Amino acid sequence: MKKNKLALALIISGLCAAGTANAANDRYIIQVDNNKKGVVKALAKKLGGDIKVDGNGFIAAQFTGHDLASVKGLLNNPHIKLVEEDQKRVPMALYNDDAGNAMQQQLTPYAVYQSQADQVTFDANAGMKVCVIDSGLDATNPDFIWGNITGDNDSGTGNWYDNGGPHGTHVAGTIGAADNNVGVVGMAPGVAMHIIKVFNAEGWGYSSDLAHAADLCSQAGANIISMSLGGGGSNSTESNAFATFTSAGGLVVAAAGNDGNSVRSYPAGYPSVMMVGANDANNQIADFSQFPSCTSGRGKRATTDETICVEVTAGGVDTLSTYPAGMATSASLAADGAGFATSSMENSGNASGTAYYMGTAESVDAGAAGKICMIDRGNISFYDKVNNCENSGGIGAVIINNEAGMLYATLGETNDTTIPAVGAALEDRSALLSSTTIGIAIGTSDYGFMSGTSMATPAVSGIAALVWSNHPECTGTEIRDALKATAEDQGASGHDVYFGHGIVKAADADAYLTANGCAGGGDNGGGTTPGGDDISLSTSGYKSKGTKYIDLSWSGAATSTVDVYRNGSKVGSVANTNSYTDTITTKGGGTYTYQVCEAQNTTVCSNNSTVTF
């Protein structure tokens, strides 16, 4: 399918997300206490490092030509806690189909109806704010309440209000496009947003950019972080940044990825981040939506944790949202004055006239002169069909799909036709062919379609803001649990790796919290402690010289210390740093089940997580 250069760049970035993120890039994160940062920065510069990010508790620097081992050798300094690779992060948009026309009226995307967002009223006085980490937001789009939007500039990516392509603007519109009788309406119309532009001119960023952005989101007072991005490889700096935001009561949402495989993408793969997959308008899983396993490790060391796999899904296939001014192409189709869904194929312009059915338009037909050609798909190319219509004197063409759904197509790289041509759905064939007059138009628009887990992620972020605005006393983790507890089960019965708990339902989540309070009605999506799962826990184990070590990683605890339990017995109280390593010296194998609870509290606890040696 023919795409413009911008669309092609998005396709490539989405399809190559996992692969490019692991590429060597000579850029590394250096963890260091803030009061020692000056010494380490000076050392890094002296050794040829180019400082890229000055974050809270870390810096990121590029050391051209050096691998990780050599940089660790160069930076042999007691003030440095850790040196790790700075992973690439890219937008998670798979493709965009230019269709639809929202310039004259407000349209409601299908995902709003599917998620029940139209059944819940957003409380603008609740103080909700969503931090959107993406490619910036186009300042000219009229579908935002600009008094509610702030942002942070970055020397490497430019002004947050200058779009770096349509991705960030599309994402922001899904979250909070205003209910203002034009364009589209978001999940939480008019919600306050803070925009952080992390993608450079080439269309990607780094994990250190995200870690720094998480801190900026917190400083801006955001309740929710929304990231329609990701890549392969994890690192502790990025993980800790989002765990800190979650522990402070926030909610972090990120895209599962668009490669249609079981690879775990980050930051969505961190336990503190809610991973979102994509479904279509028919409640089917999108073929591109990634489905990583909830199990990590192998054999006896394998552990299961639903916070490292898809937790819920939302509409992410052909979703309509805001675009930078004039960057989308819109199409409209009317038959006897009634509007029909359509897609733009080629050739901008307007045409209206009497409908003329040309069958599959395999030859010139003089009867089409001065009329709109109604053409069935099949037998010959789309270009040949439109060319035969034009050579017959036709003034426009409508090609109707021969299988269920909308026809999305172009006329090829060598198209030399001039009449406007649009696609139509098979379901509308009878109504279109029985019509007397047809009108079609193709032009530029501030609204367009995209597909990807990128589109599902802001849907969930907006739904979370919508529901949370009516229950502001809850924490982000409690909102996360409510969305999972009330999701509509799809796919295999119960929790599965494709849908997680299912498709998010705003009205059901709102009713659930109203009935049960923030703690929910039980295990809140998989926990074993009554009222639990306020804390998310994952574990991994390994042996060294006969000693067993179990690394615990958690998020969501609010107290300064937490109590760690092993096989139902309290191991001890430790500082709430979101991580702890338990040591077991007994010989032989064994199975160990862990749980983390807030200090002196046996009800605010994590899920159980088990390690077997």
Q: Are 300 and 164 in contact (CB under 8 A)?
A: no
Question: From CA 431, how far away is CA 335, in angstroms rounded?
Answer: 8
Task: Name the residue type at position 469.
Answer: S
DSSP-based three-state secondary structure for 505 = coil
What does the block give as tokens for 342?
């359509």
* Active-site residue flag, 569: no
Residue tagged active-site, from 236, 454, 555, 609: 454
Q: Are 382 and 407 in contact (CB under 8 A)?
A: no
* Active-site residue flag, 454: yes
Q: Are 25 and 181 in contact (CB under 8 A)?
A: no
Residue tagged active-site, from 86, 98, 134, 510: 134
Question: Which long-range CB contacts under 8 A does 153-156 form with residues at least 24 apart?
Answer: 153/197, 154/196, 154/197, 154/198, 154/209, 156/52, 156/200
Phi then psi dihedrals of residue 94, to 5 deg: -85, -50
What does the block give as tokens for 177?
């496009």
Residue recorded with tokens 């939506």: 289
Task: Name the residue type at position 37.
Answer: K
Query: What are the beta bridge partners of residue 549?
Result: 542, 583
Beta strands in 71-202 (DSSP E): 80-85, 88-91, 106-107, 129-134, 149-152, 183-184, 192-197
Phi then psi dihedrals of residue 498, to 5 deg: -85, -55
Q: Are 332 and 424 in contact (CB under 8 A)?
A: no
How many other β-carbons are positioned within 10 Å of the β-carbon of residue 82?
Answer: 14
- ∠ Cα 397 338 405 (to 5°): 60
Query: What are the beta bridge partners of residue 67?
Result: none
- DSSP annotation string for 235-296: -HHHHHHHHHHHHTT-EEEEE--SSSSSPPPBTTTSTTEEEEEEE-TTSPBPTT-----SEE
Residue tagged active-site, from 13, 66, 167, 501: 167
User: What residues contact residue 137 under an 8 Å CB cut-off, 6+ apart?
Assistant: 144, 149, 151, 160, 161, 163, 168, 169, 172, 193, 195
Phi then psi dihedrals of residue 149, to 5 deg: -120, 130
Q: Are 215 and 57 in contact (CB under 8 A)?
A: no
Q: Are 28 and 84 in contact (CB under 8 A)?
A: yes
Query: What are the beta bridge partners of residue 6?
Result: none
Beta strands in 111-220 (DSSP E): 129-134, 149-152, 183-184, 192-197, 205-206
User: What residues contact residue 363 under an 8 Å CB cut-off, 6+ apart?
Assistant: 388
Catalytic residues: 134, 167, 454
